[in-house]
Structure 1
Amino acid sequence: MKDLFTTIKTSAELRHQGVSSAAITRKSKNGELIKICFNAYVEANQWKTWDATRRCLARHVGFLKTHRGYVLSHVSAALWWRAPTLDLPLKVWVSHPHPSAKVAGNVHLSRNRLQVCEQAVFRSGAFVTTPLQTALDCARVLPCPDALCIIDDLLHRDLVQEGELSQALKTLEGRGALRAREIAKYMSAKAESPAESLARYWILLWGFTAPVEQVQLWVKGNVYRPDFLWEDTRVILEVDGMVKYSGTYGSPVEVIQKERRRQHHLELLGYTVIRAQWEDVARNPENLRAKLLPVRCALMACERGVNLPNAVQRTRR
Structure 2
Amino acid sequence: MTHSLSVPAVLPSPVPLLRASEIPHPELALARGELAHVRRGVYAPHEQWAGLPPWERYLARVHAVAICIPDVVFCAESAAALRGLPVFGHPREVHVLRDDGADAGVTGDLRIHTASGPREIADLGGYAVTDDGDTAVDLARHRHPAIGLAVADAALRRDPALSVENLVARNEARASSRGRRRARWSLHRANGDAETTLESISRAAIAWLGFPEPELQRWFTACDGHRDRADMWWPTEQVIGEADGDLKYDGRFGDPVAAMRERRRRDARLRDHVRSVAHWAWDEVTEFTRLRSILLGAGLRRIQPEDTARLLELRRLLAPLSPSPSPYPRDQSAPPRPAV
Length-normalised TM-score, structure 2: 0.75
Q: Which residue number in structure 2 is paired with residue 84 of structure 1?
A: 86
2:18 corresponds, among 3, 9, 25, to 9
Q: Which residue number in structure 1 is paired with residue 171 of structure 2?
A: 169
1:36 Cα shift? 1.7
Q: Which residue number in structure 2 is paired with residue 266 of structure 1?
A: 270
CA separation of 1:9 and 1:191: change in aligned 2, threshold 3 A? same
2:238 corresponds, among 230, 234, 243, to 234
Contact 2:244–2:281 (CA under 8 A) maintained in structure 1 = yes
Q: Which residue number in structure 2 is paired with residue 94 of structure 1?
A: 96
1:108 Cα shift? 1.2
More helix by share: 1
Question: Is 1:225 the counterpart of 2:226 in the alignment?
Answer: no
Query: What is the percentage of aligned positions where both structures have the same residue?
Result: 27
Q: Give per-residue Cα distances to partners, 1:137-182, cap 9 Å, x unaligned.
A: 1111111111211111111122633331133335544142211011
Contact 1:100–1:111 (CA under 8 A) maintained in structure 2 = yes
Q: Which residue number in structure 2 is paired with residue 154 of structure 1?
A: 155
CA separation of 1:55 and 1:211: change in aligned 2, threshold 3 A? closer
Distance (Å, rounded) in 1 between the aligned partners of 2:272 and 2:300: 19
1:43 Cα shift? 3.8
Q: Which residue number in structure 1 is paired with residue 141 of structure 2?
A: 140
1:211 corresponds, among 203, 210, 214, to 214
1:250 corresponds, among 238, 251, 254, to 254
Find the structure with the greater CA-based Rg.
Answer: 1
Distance (Å, rounded) in 1 between the aligned partners of 2:137 and 2:12: 30
Contact 1:37–1:59 (CA under 8 A) maintained in structure 2 = yes
Question: Is 1:296 the counterpart of 2:297 in the alignment?
Answer: no
Where structure 2 has 5 or more consecutive residues not aligned to the other structure, the ranges are 1-9, 304-340
Q: Which has the higher contact order (CA 8 A, sep 6+)?
A: 2
Q: Which residue number in structure 2 is paired with residue 72 of structure 1?
A: 74
1:33 Cα shift? 3.8
1:7 Cα shift? 2.7
Distance (Å, rounded) in 2 between the aligned partners of 1:25 and 1:42: 13
CA separation of 1:67 and 1:295: change in aligned 2, threshold 3 A? same
Distance (Å, rounded) in 1 between the aligned partners of 2:302 and 2:166: 37
**Which one-letter code corresponds to 1:265 in the other structure?**
R
Distance (Å, rounded) in 1 between the aligned partners of 2:277 and 2:287: 20
Q: Give per-residue Cα distances to partners, 1:28-80, cap 9 Å, x unaligned.
A: 45554433212222343543444433322221111111112311110111111
Count how many residue pairs are aligned between Structure 1 and Structure 2.
289
CA separation of 1:53 and 1:102: change in aligned 2, threshold 3 A? closer
Q: Which residue number in structure 2 is paired with residue 311 of structure 1?
A: none
Distance (Å, rounded) in 1 between the aligned partners of 2:12 and 2:212: 48
1:178 corresponds, among 174, 177, 181, to 181
Distance (Å, rounded) in 2 between the aligned partners of 1:49 and 1:277: 24
Contact 1:172–1:180 (CA under 8 A) maintained in structure 2 = no
Contact 1:186–1:201 (CA under 8 A) maintained in structure 2 = no
Secondary structure class of the residue paired with 1:244: helix
Question: Is 1:201 the counterpart of 2:207 in the alignment?
Answer: no
Q: Which is worse superposed, 177-186 or 104-113? A: 104-113
Secondary structure class of the residue paired with 1:147: helix
